[in-house]
Amino acid sequence: MQKRKLGKSNLEVSAIGLGCMGMSFGLGPAADKQEMISLIRAAVERGITFFDTAEVYGPFTNEELVGEALAPVRNQVAIATKFGFKPGPDGQRWSDLDSRPEHIKQVAEASLKRLKTDVIDLFYQHRVDPNVPIEDAAGAVKELIQQGKVKHFGLSEAGVQTIRRAHAVQPVTALQSEYSLWWREPEAEVIPTLEELGIGFVPFSPLGKGFLTGKISEDTQFDKTDFRNIVPRFSPENRKANQALVDLIGKFAEQKKATPAQIALAWLLAQKSWIVPIPGTTKLRRLEENIGAAAVELTSDDLRQLESAASKIPVQGARYPEEFQKLVNR
């Protein structure tokens, strides 16, 4: 697996990372913990060195899983986790935002324990807190970096003005936001800003929450705990309308003797040398399929054809319900 540097930082990671959220939370019931530990270790054996989690996934259980799985190989990997939500007393996971500096420091200490480590490689603000100046949040992470508890600062789903303000206080190593062939909004302002400032980009949901794999149809039924049930883009009628994009990617996949998922990931890798997607999975065969995307070569001609065809297919449905949409691009 080739390596990539996130922007101008010295954080070098595998070209494809592993998003661990779905192992514990968000996409149906939590998977078996021992099986997921085995899967994470299988990822390391196959060259993945970049693992993504957050305190709110579970809450807390995903960090514990990642910490236990990676403890034997801790010096070979980079672990990214996140602060900024305040898990509610009733277990409600998205109850409040809290990026007060004192809270950030408490989260860091708790995450270090759960992750069984003495340093967090990349500490993201999970969502921008409108009640706390971004300079204060960046300053708190800067102190954690000075204390040796954190190596790099990241932002998630932040708008360009916030990115600039944060970067002026503590250089931002990476922005994590959704980006894929069916969510291309970052191309307008975010990607040019990251390029200008030398910040890496970590796309989550690079396979469109599974849709771009071609394994989801308008008839697919999700578990009642699956977040996709409330995503407008995943309504049956929108899935039916959006199938045209999956069919297009499928045609390219056949030509390249690859899978649709591999084409979707290879497309992202071809956009910029400092983009590192983090597809998630709970299955070894999917992990291996995703890793295989790094070996798929898309020529400039391939990319032009894919761009041209994809631009004629309008994607239907919002990517978030309204309550979540208002938390992004602040």
Q: What are the angstrom distances between the C-alpha of 257 and each of 121, 241, 244, 252? A: 36, 26, 20, 8
Model confidence pLDDT, tens digit, residues 222-265: 999 999 999 999 999 999 999 999 999 999 999 999 999 999 99
Q: What is the extent of the structural domain holding 51?
A: 3-208+271-297
Could you tell me if residue 235 is inside a domain? no
Q: What's the structural domain count of the chain?
A: 1
Answer for the pair 268, 203: CB distance below 8 angstroms, yes or no.
Answer: yes
Could you tell me if residue 236 is inside a domain? no
In 65-159 the beta strands, taken as DSSP E runs, fall at 78-83, 85-86, 96-97, 120-125, 150-156
Instruction: Round to whole Å and give the CA distance between 81 and 52.
Output: 6
Query: Which CATH number fits the domain that encloses residue 76?
Result: 3.20.20.100
pLDDT reported for residue 90: 60
Could you tell me if residue 221 is inside a domain? no
pLDDT reported for residue 326: 87
Model confidence pLDDT, tens digit, residues 28-71: 999 999 999 999 999 999 999 999 999 999 999 999 999 999 99
Query: 57 catalytic, yes or no?
Result: yes
Query: What's the mean pLDDT when you consider all of the chain?
Result: 95
Could you tell me if residue 112 is inside a domain? yes
Could you tell me if residue 254 is inside a domain? no
Could you tell me if residue 197 is inside a domain? yes
Instruction: Round to whole Å and give the CA distance between 153 and 122.
Output: 6
Query: Which residues in 20-31 are b (16+ Cβ under 10 Å) and which e?
Result: bbbbbbbbeebb
Could you tell me if residue 258 is inside a domain? no
Exactly one of 57, 124, 179, 320 is catalytic; name it.
57
Could you tell me if residue 233 is inside a domain? no
